[in-house]
Amino acid sequence: MHSSCLTCHTSFFCRKNDITGIIHNTFTVEQHLFGELQSYDLKPGGSLEEVTELNKKEYVRLYVTWRFMRGIEIQFSHLQKGFHELISQHLLRPFDERELELIISGLGKIDTEDWKQNTRLKHCTPESNIVKWFWAIVNSFDEEKRARLLQFVTGSCRVPLQGFKALQGSTGAAGPRLFTIHQVDAPTNNLPKAHTCFNRVDIPPYESYEKMLDKLTCAVEETCGFAVE
């Protein structure tokens, strides 16, 4: 299993289950480096502290941070150095990471009908207001905004060659992970929340199309869209 998939799977399991008598970890993480398995403390004295039901949230937070940041710091610094040899750093400063992906990958035409036909609905139906308004909003967007919306929910602005039916998640589960619209019982002043590992967007039951358009646009343009369950 890819390390990022394993990270999502581990954090999901820990947060959703009582780990007493199941997980016998300490606050450490292991990684293969040049053919050798090395162990690193997630916190000072981490090798001496066991993970329990009471401290598992701290463990998940430190574990995810290490896997996605500290654990790839050396590799990323070399990649960054090579990238900056090709493109000067000052030329990249005006762009955030999502804009940079769009510049590098370009804009492909998104088939909205294929998107709609291969979308899973959770706690809502095709006749629910948020579903009808979601597709109305998608149809009102130009290609760049559609790509940004897709990027917000799935982590990528690109559609697989086989179409939306072949979207993959990053939880380690086999098979495709369809784009999912999930109506949640949350205050309608909240923004929609994306779970990129699951290709799912959580949408409160907004009272009007205009409010949903405003909230969804704000979420897509101002937030990163990543959440760990």
For 52, list phi and psi in degrees, rounded to 5.
-125, 175
CA atoms of 156 and 171, how far apart (whole Å):
15
User: Which residues, in sequence order, are bridge partners of residue 160?
Assistant: none
Residue 224 a catalytic site member: no
Residue 82: CB atoms within 10 A of its CB come to: 9
Describe the strand order of the beta sheet including 200-203 as a list of residue ranges. 119-122, 179-183, 200-203, 193-195
Q: Take residue 229 and report the two structure tokens written for it.
A: 């369950």
**8 A C-beta contact, residue 225 and residue 198:** no
Catalytic: which of 8, 157, 197, 224? 197
In terms of Cβ atoms closer than 10 Å to its own Cβ (0-12, 13-18, 19+), residue 159 is buried
CA atoms of 162 and 30, how far apart (whole Å):
36
Annotated catalytic sites, by residue?
197
